[in-house]
Amino acid sequence: MLRKMYDWVMNLAGSRHAPVMLCGVSFAESSFFPIPPDVMLAPMVLARPERAFVYAGLCTLSSVLGGCLGYFIGYHLGDLGHWLLALMGHPEGDAAFKSWFEQWGLWVILIKGLTPIPYKLVTIASGLAEFSFFTFVWASVVTRGARFFLTATLLKYFGPAVREEVEKRLTLYTVIGLTVLVGGIVALKVLG
């Protein structure tokens, strides 16, 4: 079953519709969607390494545009922003994020945009905190671009060897991936 699902994802990643789906996931993840664009970007680069940087550029642009929607939600639709933050496990939202921005400012965007921490938290919180929109946009371009271009570069040059290894031990890596995912969620709940 894992092999069929893996083959389906890889075929989907190589399809002509994959870039549109990557843009949609990347845009939505920056403002409200729970799944990061890496789940589309990685197999797409593995399927077509010659287009790695095109995919990273599309992912970056879509993520920043989606981030602008998240900022808009926080800035103009505060109740919706608070609700989304509470839904993501941050009911204190406004006060906590405003203190982050007061203390760390730009660094909140630069650091959190590179990490697996859901970027929508940063985008909505930036709007709620009324952080400078111009600074928000250029910092988002830098940080999201760095993340996606680094991912694309690593997969372009080291991906074929990684892909071969994963295909040999698909079940093992699936179990490891799920364990890390569940462990990360538990850690976020315990620390949050």
DSSP letters spanning 31-76:
TT-SS-THHHHHHHHHH-GGGHHHHHHHHHHHHHHHHHHHHHHHHH
Q: Are 129 and 101 in contact (CB under 8 A)?
A: yes
The CA distances from residue 75 to 40, 91, 127, 181, in Å, are 29, 17, 4, 31
- Side-chain half-sphere exposure of 12, counting CA atoms within 13 A: 14
Top-confidence residue, 120 or 180: 120
The domain of 78 spans 2-191
CA distance 192 to 190: 6
- Longest Cα–Cα distance of the chain, Å, equals 50
Top-confidence residue, 8 or 142: 142
What's residue 56's pLDDT? 97
Residue 53 has pLDDT above 90, yes or no: yes
Q: Mean pLDDT throughout 54-71?
A: 95
Predicted confidence band of residue 93 (pLDDT cuts 50, 70, 90): low
What's residue 173's pLDDT? 67
Give per-residue pLDDT as tens, 132-171.
899 999 999 998 999 899 889 988 998 877 767 766 776 7
CA distance 99 to 129: 9
Q: Three-state DSSP class for 21?
A: helix
| Alpha-carbon torsion (168, 165, 4, 51), positive or negative | negative
Top-confidence residue, 44 or 161: 44
Report how many domains make up the chain.
1
The CA distances from residue 145 to 44, 59, 171, in Å, are 17, 8, 32
Residue 116 phi/psi, 5-degree rounding, is -75, -5
Give per-residue pLDDT as tens, 113-136.
666 667 888 888 888 888 889 999
What's residue 14's pLDDT? 74
Torsion over CA of 88, 89, 92 and 96, rounded to 10 degrees? -80
List the alpha helices (DSSP H) in 51-169. 52-76, 78-87, 93-104, 106-112, 119-128, 133-168
Top-confidence residue, 120 or 92: 120
Predicted confidence band of residue 52 (pLDDT cuts 50, 70, 90): very high
Q: Supply the pTM of this predicted model.
A: 0.73
Give per-residue pLDDT as tens, 63-87.
999 999 999 988 888 777 777 776 6
Chain-wide mean pLDDT for the chain?
Answer: 79
